[in-house]
Structure formats: C-alpha cells, structure tokens
Amino acid sequence: MRRKAIALVALSLLIAAATASALVLEAGDLVVNAEGGFAPTRLPKTEDAPIKIYGGGKASTKSGELPPIVDTLEIEFDRHGHVETRGLEVCESGRLQSTTVPQARKACPNAIVGKGYGTAIVQFPEQKPIPVSSPITLFNGPKKKGDDTIIAHAYTTVPVPTTFIIPVVIEKIHHGVYGYRTKAKIPKIAGGAGHPISGNITVDRKWTFKGHKYSYVNARCETGHLQAKVKVDFKDGTFLTGTFFKPCSVRH
C-alpha cells in the first residue's frame, strides 16, 4: 500500500512537467523518463491530416537497483484524430508464432505500421545481470468488436529463443479530450526474471489504396495542442501516470 500511496504523489510531478518535451516521474526509488510527440506540427483545424507519432521511456532507480517489473502499459490518445486501416493488409498472430524479427517482418510486410526497440535486464539468482534487447514490430491486426488492433512482436534468445506476441486493442472511448485507448500486458521475460528497462516506438505508415493515399495515424489542430496520457503499472503495486501536451499550429 505504501508504494501505491507514493505513486499518487507522482501525479503532482506530471502537472509541473506537462508542458515539457519529456516527463520525469518518480515514486520512491523508482524513476521513469518518458517522451513523445508527433510530426508535422502544422495541421488543418477542422479536418484530419497524416502524421507520424513517436514515443519512448526508460525505467531506472536512484539506488542503482533494478526497477520493478512492468506489468501493463496504458495510453489514452487525443480525440482530435483517428486511425485509418482502409486497404491495409491484416496480419494474424498465427503467422508470427515462433518467428525471429526478420521472419516476422517477412511474413506480413504490408501489415507493418510501426517499428521500435526494447531492452531489458535478466537477473537470475546468484548470477550477473544479463542485458537483452530486441527490435519491436507493430502489425495491423484483425478488428475486434469493431475496434482496430495492433500485434506487437519481439524476439530474444535469453535464456532460450523466445518469440513475444502482444495483441493490443485500439479501443474507442469517450473520456474528455481522449478518444482512443490502448492497454498492453507486458509478457514475462525469461520466466519472470527479466526487468524491462527501455523502449521506443515510431508509427509512420502510409500507403495507397484504389488510387487514394492513406495514413495510419491522422490528426487536426483544433485546440492548439494534442495530448496523450500514459499510465505504467508495475508488478509490485507501484504505478505512475503522466500527460504529454504537444503544441500544434493551424495550417491554412
């Protein structure tokens, strides 16, 4: 309970850091640095235009100990935009089972909507920490109850070759300024001995379908800024939350 109470104090930090290019959130010994944004920043006021989005974060501790293990990552996105999948290939998770990164990308090349990179530290009892990492690939998945989905893929060889497949629903919501929500359950790494440390993702997929150009992510500058809210839950009960406010200007 004490860790949960400490995490609530971190909410005050997000207010102070909300207009900055990055967030620094703290809960006791735990420190999370996060950043994110979009481009271009000049957008129409009343209609959506193509953008790319990017973001990332890193967990650490003041003491130098390994941070607690991440359980879930939840993001709410500004309602002044939309996700478009018209004419975009769909990748079923079955095509990605037991694949390395090159194999996965070859299996569904036309369904890729984003790429990134993740790192972790594996700590087995009485052994030196082992750094592990993997490219991350985001695929356009099949719709679920009318909502678009993403399938995140990663691959490691520690302690044994393992493919990670994480389905994520892009849920439509009506939560004030937020219109979409994603929630990812982070899988166990090395049987639970792996501590996720950092990750980053860029989504910038554009394609042509029946003579028309489309973009996976689209937005407009109706209020002078776009925002996203991030919440990270850790397995020890700690949670941190922060909000990105990114200014935009109207393109005439």
- Say if CB 48 and CB 81 are below 8 A apart: yes
Beta bridge partners of 196: 120
Label the pairing between strands 178-185 and 194-203. Answer: unpaired
pLDDT tens digits, the chain, 252 residues: what are they?
A: 334 333 333 333 333 333 335 788 889 999 999 988 999 999 999 999 999 999 999 999 999 999 999 999 999 999 999 999 999 999 999 999 999 999 999 999 999 999 999 999 999 998 999 999 999 999 999 999 999 999 999 999 988 999 999 999 999 999 999 999 999 999 999 999 999 999 999 999 999 999 999 999 999 999 999 999 999 999 999 999 989 889 999 987
Q: What confidence score (pLDDT) does residue 244 get? A: 87
Phi-psi region of 3 (alpha: psi -120 to 50; beta: other; left: phi over 0): alpha
Label the pairing between strands 206-209 and 112-122. Answer: unpaired
Whether omega for the bond prior to residue 196 falls within 30 degrees of 0, making it cis, is no
Q: What confidence score (pLDDT) does residue 214 get? A: 98
Q: What confidence score (pLDDT) does residue 252 get? A: 78
Burial 152-187 (b: 16+ CB within 10 A, else e): bbbbbebeeebbbbbebbbbeeeeebbbbbbebebe
Q: What confidence score (pLDDT) does residue 144 get? A: 96
Tell me, what DSSP letter sits at residue 127? Answer: S
